[in-house]
């Protein structure tokens, strides 16, 4: 079949349109993502696992839904649960958020310190790739980060920020029976000490600021009114933990969510202090405790604007009520 010159020109023009315009539409979204600050989240998420803490899941979800960061990967560690449980919960959360973010398996326990894992290797590679630009949010035991340091000590000075939820400075701890230590540091004090002793640009969120407020009946009632599939999933995932903790505290403390919210709204912080501190690795009542007055000065966040944090809770977790 012979094609007329006019038809060839018409088809050629259409093909040019498809080649040039369609990729530009697709790349528009990608270019926006590339312009965002790169972030790695290191977590021991167990949200949705019966009788387990939920604040990791809230922290991760708020960062994803905000679309303020280009999340390069999520590194997984033991802590609130086993490594396999953490992986299962991470997969479940991402599936309900309809997002794909690479997951990297990390430390199985504190004895994994110094053992090369997917997570530790990914952290070192990402730091070198985004030299001086990469942020890391660490909301579990610090074994992955400390192992990455052992693999490549130079990374300690190459992060833009290392935001850590861990430690108790002036506040009582949350680990029985002595109540001297905070849980994340207690699970692997050796790794916590390596990080505190060596890393620059640490922003530490200890129990002092993370226990300024709780997620209580008001937040749960509002969440129950939100009828999106996401809100229904979120409510079911945290209701069990809320019921357990509300019987004692009137709700649950949003530890990891506080650190994540700082990355979304730095104005929630109303008091910070450079604190000289060390992490005790001695096998006694101070195991995993922050010892102040000695060691390096760490930028430590101590108090927050609770009203602003509660507003951010609804905003960044995409929680709305009926009729809105």
- What phi and psi values does residue 217 have, to the nearest 5 degrees? -60, -40
Distance of CA 8 to the CA centre of its chain: 55
Task: Assign 296 to helix, strand or coil.
Answer: strand
- Chain-centroid distance, C-alpha 131: 20
Q: How far apart are CA 86 and CA 164, in angstroms?
A: 18
Question: How is residue 304 annotated by DSSP?
Answer: E
Strand partners, 41: 74, 137
Work out whether strand 296-304 and strand 269-279 pair parallel, antiparallel, or are unpaired.
Answer: antiparallel
Report the C-alpha gap between 212 and 126 in whole angstroms: 33
The encoded tokens of residue 212 equal: 């300024």
Q: Do residues 47 and 93 touch, judged by C-beta distance below 8 A?
A: yes
**How remote is the C-alpha of 35 from its chain's centroid?**
20
Instruction: Look at strands 38-43 and 296-304 and give their pairing.
Output: unpaired
pTM score, whole prediction: 0.90
Q: Which of 161, 139, 165 is nearest to 69 (CA)?
A: 161
pLDDT confidence of residue 47: 98
Report the alpha-carbon distance of residue 240 to residue 124 in Å, rounded: 37
270 burial type by CB count under 10 A (0-12 exposed, 13-18 middle, 19+ buried):
middle
DSSP-based three-state secondary structure for 165: strand
What pLDDT score was predicted for residue 30? 56
Bridge partners of 296, per DSSP, are 277
pLDDT at 4: 46
pLDDT of residue 278: 98
d(CA 235, CA 96): 13
pLDDT in the model for residue 28: 52
Record the tokens describing residue 278, joined without a space: 């060390």
Domains and CATH numbers, the chain: 36-316 (3.90.245.10)
- Per the CB < 8 A criterion, the answer to whether 302 and 170 are in contact is yes
- Asked whether the beta carbons of 73 and 42 are under 8 A apart, the reply is no
Q: What is the pLDDT along the chain (324 residues), one digit of tens a residue?
A: 344 444 334 444 444 443 444 454 444 545 566 799 999 999 999 999 999 999 999 999 999 999 999 999 999 999 999 999 999 999 999 999 999 999 999 999 999 999 999 999 999 999 999 999 999 999 999 999 999 999 999 999 999 999 999 999 999 999 999 999 999 999 999 999 999 999 999 999 999 999 999 999 999 999 999 999 999 999 999 999 999 999 999 999 999 999 999 999 999 999 999 999 999 999 999 999 999 999 999 999 999 999 999 999 999 999 986 544
Q: Which of 275, 274, 279, 281 is nearest to 293 (CA)?
A: 275
Q: How far apart are CA 149 and CA 24, in angstroms?
A: 40
Q: 3-state DSSP call for residue 122?
A: helix
Residue 293 backbone class (left: φ over 0; alpha: ψ -120 to 50; beta: rest) = left
CA angle 154/155/161 to nearest 5° reads: 140
**pLDDT at residue 320, rounded to an integer:** 86
What does the alpha-carbon distance between residue 9 and residue 36 come to, in Å, rounded to a whole number? Answer: 41
What is the helix (H) or strand (E) element at residue 75, kind and residue range?
strand 70-76
């Amino acid at each position: 079949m012979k094609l007329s010159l006019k038809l060839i020109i018409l088809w050629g023009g259409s093909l040019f349109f498809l080649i040039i315009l369609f990729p530009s539409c697709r790349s528009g979204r990608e270019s926006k993502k590339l312009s965002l600050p790169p972030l790695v989240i290191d977590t021991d998420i167990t949200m949705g696992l019966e009788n387990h803490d939920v604040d990791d899941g809230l922290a991760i979800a708020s960062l994803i839904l905000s679309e303020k960061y280009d999340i390069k990967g999520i590194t997984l560690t033991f802590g609130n649960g086993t490594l396999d449980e953490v992986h299962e919960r991470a997969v479940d959360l991402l599936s309900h958020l309809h997002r794909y973010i690479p997951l990297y398996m990390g430390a199985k326990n504190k004895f994994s310190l110094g053992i090369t894992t997917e997570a530790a290797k990914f952290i070192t590679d990402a730091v070198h790739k985004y030299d001086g630009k990469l942020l890391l949010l660490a909301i579990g035991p610090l074994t992955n980060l400390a192992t990455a340091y052992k693999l490549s000590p130079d990374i300690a000075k190459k992060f833009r920020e290392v935001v850590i939820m861990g430690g108790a400075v002036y506040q009582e701890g949350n680990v029985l029976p002595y109540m001297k230590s905070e849980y994340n540091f207690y699970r692997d004090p050796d790794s916590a000490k390596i990080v505190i002793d060596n890393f620059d640009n640490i922003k530490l969120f200890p129990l002092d600021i993370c226990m300024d407020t709780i997620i209580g009946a008001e937040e749960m009632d509002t969440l129950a009114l939100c009828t999106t599939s996401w809100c229904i999933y979120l409510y079911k995932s945290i209701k069990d933990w809320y019921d357990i903790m509300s019987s004692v505290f009137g709700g649950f403390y949003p530890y990891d969510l506080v650190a994540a919210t700082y990355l979304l709204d730095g104005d929630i912080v109303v008091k910070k202090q450079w604190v000289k501190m060390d992490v005790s690795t001695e096998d006694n009542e101070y195991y995993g405790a922050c010892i102040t007055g000695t060691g390096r000065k760490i930028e430590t966040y101590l108090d927050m604007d609770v009203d602003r944090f509660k507003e951010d809770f609804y905003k960044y977790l995409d929680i709305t009520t009926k009729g809105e």
